[in-house]
Amino acid sequence: MPAKEMLYDCEKVRFAYPDGTPALTEVSFRIWRGDRVAILGVNGSGKSTLLRLLDGLMEPTAGVIRFMGTPLTERSLQNPSFGRLFRQRVGFVFQDADAQLFNPTVWDEVAFAPRQMGLPEGEVRTRVADTLYLLGIAHLAERAPFRLSGGEKRKVAIACVLSMNPDVLLLDEPIAGLDPRMQSWLVNTLRLLHEAGKTLLIATHNLHLLPEVADRVLILSEEHTLLADRTLQEAMEDTQLLVSAGLLHEHLHAHGDAVHSHLHGHEHHH
């Protein structure tokens, strides 16, 4: 088998926001073509920050992120050939759809990236129509994205990325806010994309859907370090690891007179 192509190489990546808030500390890992990786960690551990860095929206404060060998910097992204290649290959679904949607209509929103890529208008129209149909949102085409419901906005954000047909999909909590039917549609779509050779990086809190969407996990600690880079199976069998990452927690229950403790995933309601 030929060696897999390395897409991302993150070396000792550190990031602090301009106000001084630390968000990532000495994070190193690599991503190969076709990988399916979940990024896990409690609220505020740095998942969204990491995805923004991998999308080149911000630069590390220290350390380096290379994409196919080229450091991701404001400068390299301004280079017409690298910038264009990177933008065509990498698509990002934001956690907050409001921060992503800015066009006057849903149609224009989904057409935006294919137009930026310079596709002929006929091809753009076909792609947009197909994607809206796939997501069951063709009826929203003329609506203003900012006036949609939360779940509708998320579908539009997903449509925007699918219409680009990127090789690498960065997805920040893509399942949150979708109804059960859309959740299973999305999980299935992600599986098909993986089978088609796409690379997927997904930040999620949804532990019970993990086996459907990831083979490997990166776990960020509350201190913003990389606690683990393991196969999904290895990580899920390590209760100690999951507890220390805050992904499982001990909870006291009263059953009649008896009180005992259980381990819980965060997706459960108490």
Residues that bind Mg ion (CB under 5 A): 47-48, 95
How deeply is 160 buried, as exposed, middle or buried, from its count of CB atoms within 10 A (0-12, 13-18, 19+)? buried
With CB cut-offs between 5 and 8 Å by kind, which of ligand ATP, Mg ion, none does residue 43 bind?
ligand ATP
In the list Mg ion, ligand ATP, none, the entry touching 49 (Cβ below 5 to 8 angstroms by class) is ligand ATP
CB of 79 to ligand ATP, least distance (A): 27
Measured CA to CA, the distance from residue 21 to residue 192 in angstroms comes to 38
C-alpha 133/C-alpha 192 separation (Å) is 17
Helix (H, G, I), strand (E, B) or coil at 28: strand
- Reported residue count of the chain is 270
Rounded to a whole number of angstroms, the minimum distance from the CB of residue 95 to Mg ion is 5
List residues near ligand ATP by CB under 6 A: 17, 19, 21, 23, 41, 43-49, 95
Sign of the C-alpha dihedral computed for residues 46, 51, 55 and 57 taken in this order: negative
CA 174 to chain centre: 7
* Token pair recorded at residue 30: 């690599």
Compute the least distance from the CB of residue 65 to Mg ion, in Å.
Answer: 18
The nearer residue to ligand ATP, 6 or 16, going by C-beta atoms, is 16
Supply the minimum distance, in Å, between the C-beta of residue 45 and ligand ATP.
4
Q: Which is nearer to Mg ion, 47 or 194 (CB)?
A: 47
Q: Which does 21 bind (CB under 5 to 8 A by kind): ligand ATP, Mg ion, none?
A: ligand ATP
